[in-house]
Structure 1
């Protein structure tokens, strides 16, 4: 039985509406249907199940635009093409080449080349005054932002969709250029808000912090395990390690496995599309696979896996990998570093390991997001791609409320986008600020906040241990909750005198656990002051000459 399409009643020439099938809340993907007059355009198809798009025997749109090849924006495209073979699907040239990695479980010959390539910065007209222009969006090779233009005899309407964007240059991708967009004044801007109103350090500082942590682990004789997505972050980290002064020329193995290998090989086929600096690097040495130049970058197979950890190394593997495969009785467990991403919580199957997070952002922070909005000067702003609380932080910014119509829809909620000559003050979002009191009592300062703050879903993580850390940020005092993992890490790092035989000085203690099979404490959590009869010093004193 067919159902009426959610936009069936909107066919006026001057009507702009948006119907989100999925908006990237939590683990869901992104899939948006926009209508400009009689034209329906599907922006991305990150649906794992495309049945919502099959409510009718007719295609759900007149055409599809794919912003980039990450699965949360593209994984449903193959099924959509199979359901509606005549539905045209467009993307940048690089994205058309990377899309098959979303269906790596299929033989390559089973994946048709269904996506048509569009040029950069050159409007392409599809039909009756509807055109699209692509702008490089940063974030991932081939990632595009789209300017949709619909022209009628009375007026021209414009909608700008960022997909995932990043303003800063990264190792393999140049950032989105605001200069080329300044003053565009689209009627509607659909923009991601992955990090909400968070502020990030400079990109180079993020890179240095990650490199220093890896360097520290290697110096302490630990291997490092980096679970990453198929595309983007893993290749960025490989280039970072191969070009950073801490690691160039270092006698070290970097092993790569899983679908990350497929991503690297796909990048190698696309070198002419990469920044000039990357092409110059590739002229002097291989971009990824290299057993001559240190650090060596190699493919990891079952034979090498059995010996991982006998000497310190770095392993880059799939984000879905079971990291317990890398624990061996003969070696200490690796340091596991996962990307700090608000949409991808830490997996539960690694509770026995010492897991840390790092920030190597591929999305804009508050400054980047607001900078883009103010330079584009749209009338409507639709925020997608982030947790509802993070997106609410953005819609709650006074600097945006006073200038734009702000929307943060949930999936299945139709958004009407009336275009007028004057600005109508939108309704203020729910109150996000909490007033409290300070009390100074001798040597203690007490901060009292209303109980309403505990209703926010972020409170559970913030109040996990009941302990907070405070620091000054300019004239403001910032409070941050301390997690259980941080407290355990601090406890494991507690220094004890080096001349005492205790767990804190034992070479088998790692992540506050004993990893000596001969010890009665094997596998248990231990305190730095603990002791057992099979203690072995972490750093035996050198013999006198």
Structure 2
């Protein structure tokens, strides 16, 4: 940690500053101490070790606000409460109900209801001149974006903290409404940049692609194993499988195991807070546990676990468990699909199992959504958090942001002063581009880049195997490194008999994707045993 210290409890009436105890780099949680005049506000406490907050021997803040119940934002709250029982902690009503899922290893009677609920979109004054207002942030039921307002003797200061937010609607939560934020006029915006400058298809398109992949596996008589986090994604997937037209009424068993099932129970208690469409669905059939309406959704018990895989089924379980527990001695009978971790390495325990595939189901905004929020709020300062340092640096290097805002990408322990003034001094943009040379040698094209590119932490993953895939994207050529997992998966294509009409034997399948424009699977990832009506066999040389 840096030698800089957090703001003291007293200060100038017009001082704005932010001291990050954690900014969500790697697997680090989010915990931000904000000073607004004489007031100290702790935004989230996703620390696994809260000792930095105890260093002074007194409460680290005057008030704590929790954006949502995911562990990287909330897991340290119980320890913080135990250390300082009088420190007030607030969140939305739904978040107060979901928080205990962070401490399932603690007896329920030992987890006090220490978090107080705040209403939506109603300014609440905590201390003289300091108030907070919560806005539904999407991403997860109960997730809140927080507007802090401090009225100083000479002017009013506003700071807006997004927490984790998503502008698009998901199955169980509606997206953040930019319209509801008009007129807030924050001076400072603290915004997550989980996906950096990447752009992704619309959420519904991602869902359809995942459903198609699951359907392919079931059609090939394989069961599907979905390791997921305890809270959020697993419940979204269950709702997707229950309501998508390709699964409605299908004679299929969906089993739920581990802490994911506990989170499903918690969601059932939140039904009045879920979107109207979900409440209407629940009037006709149970949201999760249902043995009557197909597909059937049930908890997995020890007896049923012994019979898994005898007929194709779907299993959702904790991402940290040993997957061999479910696959048994023959993993080839299973399609194992895990979510892409765009910020940190996966925690899925798939050691010794080959052929594990990934899927993308975004829970945060891509570059377009992040920029849309920034340009609508138009703050003086933008602090990027919650993402790998390289992704956040990419965002801070965008010219459209560089020209308009003071941009900050602080690390843990780095104090950020936030002076508010009338003039804007443009900061120097970070170095992001690399110039190289292109040479053609008959049938070979060589691209040479400077060695400085290898200093980027992403280079190790890009150059993992020394092989790359190139494709055109409009007028630009995009290079992508091929991972060992992808090469292993590609090598499994050879196991398919040559006389079988399937993606493994189709001349349009390259890099696990279909490149036939006439195919409904065009540009999608496909499996070796997949098939579509425009299959064309590979023409092997004869003689």
TM-score in same-fold range (> 0.5): yes
Residue 180 of structure 2 aligns to a residue whose secondary structure is coil
Note if 1:284 corresponds to 2:251.
no
CA distance in 1, matches of 2:349, 2:289: 32
Provide the residue aligned with 1:16 in structure 2: 16
Note if 1:174 corresponds to 2:178.
no
Provide the residue aligned with 1:453 in structure 2: 453
Note if 1:75 corresponds to 2:55.
no
CA distance in 2, matches of 1:440, 1:4: 52
Deviation at 1:445, TM superposition (A): 2.4
Note if 1:211 corresponds to 2:197.
no
Q: Deviations over 1:365-422 (max 9, x none)?
A: 1111111111110100111111111111111111111111111111111111111011
* Cα pair 1:147 1:159 within 8 Å, conserved: yes
Provide the residue aligned with 1:427 in structure 2: 428
Deviation at 1:196, TM superposition (A): 0.8
* Cα pair 2:255 2:299 within 8 Å, conserved: yes
Provide the residue aligned with 2:138 in structure 1: 138
Provide the residue aligned with 2:338 in structure 1: 338
Call closer, same or farther: CA 1:344–1:312 in 2, change over 3 Å. Answer: farther
Q: Deviations over 1:227-253 (max 9, x none)?
A: 111110000000001111111111111
Deviation at 1:497, TM superposition (A): 4.8
CA distance in 2, matches of 1:225, 1:257: 11
* Cα pair 1:464 1:481 within 8 Å, conserved: yes
Deviation at 1:336, TM superposition (A): 1.3
* Cα pair 2:159 2:187 within 8 Å, conserved: yes
Call closer, same or farther: CA 1:330–1:490 in 2, change over 3 Å. Answer: closer
Residue 134 of structure 1 aligns to a residue whose secondary structure is strand
CA distance in 1, matches of 2:18, 2:10: 11
Deviation at 1:273, TM superposition (A): 0.4
Deviation at 1:265, TM superposition (A): 0.5
Residue 428 of structure 2 aligns to a residue whose secondary structure is coil
Note if 1:33 corresponds to 2:20.
no
* Cα pair 1:185 1:379 within 8 Å, conserved: no
- Counterparts of 1:410-421 in structure 2, within 5 Å, are 410-421=411-422
Provide the residue aligned with 1:402 in structure 2: 403
Note if 1:370 corresponds to 2:366.
no
Could you list the runs of 5+ residues in structure 1 that have no partner in the other structure?
Answer: 506-527, 529-545
Question: Higher mean Cα deviation, 247-256 or 179-188?
Answer: 179-188
Q: Deviations over 1:214-233 (max 9, x none)?
A: 11111111111111111100
Residue 26 of structure 1 aligns to a residue whose secondary structure is coil
CA distance in 2, matches of 1:166, 1:28: 21
Deviation at 1:13, TM superposition (A): 0.4
Residue 113 of structure 1 aligns to a residue whose secondary structure is coil
Residue 82 of structure 1 aligns to a residue whose secondary structure is helix
Call closer, same or farther: CA 1:174–1:9 in 2, change over 3 Å. Answer: closer
* Cα pair 2:90 2:115 within 8 Å, conserved: yes
* Cα pair 1:20 1:31 within 8 Å, conserved: yes
* Cα pair 2:465 2:482 within 8 Å, conserved: yes
Deviation at 1:109, TM superposition (A): 1.6
Provide the residue aligned with 1:493 in structure 2: 493
* Cα pair 1:23 1:31 within 8 Å, conserved: yes
Deviation at 1:478, TM superposition (A): 1.2
CA distance in 2, matches of 1:473, 1:64: 46
Q: Deviations over 1:109-135 (max 9, x none)?
A: 211111111110111111111000000
Q: Deviations over 1:5-61 (max 9, x none)?
A: 621286000000000001110001000000000000000000111111111232100
Deviation at 1:342, TM superposition (A): 2.1
Residue 41 of structure 2 aligns to a residue whose secondary structure is strand
CA distance in 1, matches of 2:98, 2:114: 12
Deviation at 1:427, TM superposition (A): 2.7
Call closer, same or farther: CA 1:213–1:81 in 2, change over 3 Å. Answer: same
* Cα pair 1:183 1:375 within 8 Å, conserved: no
Provide the residue aligned with 2:511 in structure 1: none
Deviation at 1:333, TM superposition (A): 4.5
* Cα pair 1:326 1:333 within 8 Å, conserved: no
- Give the aligned length: 500
Q: Which runs of 4+ in 1 moved over 3 A?
A: 329-333, 346-349, 494-500
Provide the residue aligned with 1:95 in structure 2: 95
Could you list the runs of 5+ residues in structure 2 that have no partner in the other structure?
Answer: 506-527, 529-543
Normalised by the length of structure 1, the TM-score is 0.89
Q: Deviations over 1:314-372 (max 9, x none)?
A: 11001111111113236745221111122332346424232111100101111111111
Call closer, same or farther: CA 1:495–1:55 in 2, change over 3 Å. Answer: closer
Question: Higher mean Cα deviation, 242-251 or 482-491?
Answer: 482-491
- Counterparts of 1:250-261 in structure 2, within 5 Å, are 250-261=250-261
Deviation at 1:446, TM superposition (A): 2.1
CA distance in 2, matches of 1:348, 1:281: 34
Q: Deviations over 1:441-498 (max 9, x none)?
A: 3333222211111111111111122222222222222111111222222221247655
Note if 1:227 corresponds to 2:227.
yes
Q: Deviations over 1:176-233 (max 9, x none)?
A: 1111123533111001111111111111110011111111111111111111111100
CA distance in 2, matches of 1:499, 1:263: 46
Q: Deviations over 1:55-113 (max 9, x none)?
A: 12321000000000000000010111111111100000000000011111122221111
Q: Deviations over 1:159-190 (max 9, x none)?
A: 00000000100000000111112353311100
CA distance in 2, matches of 1:337, 1:275: 28
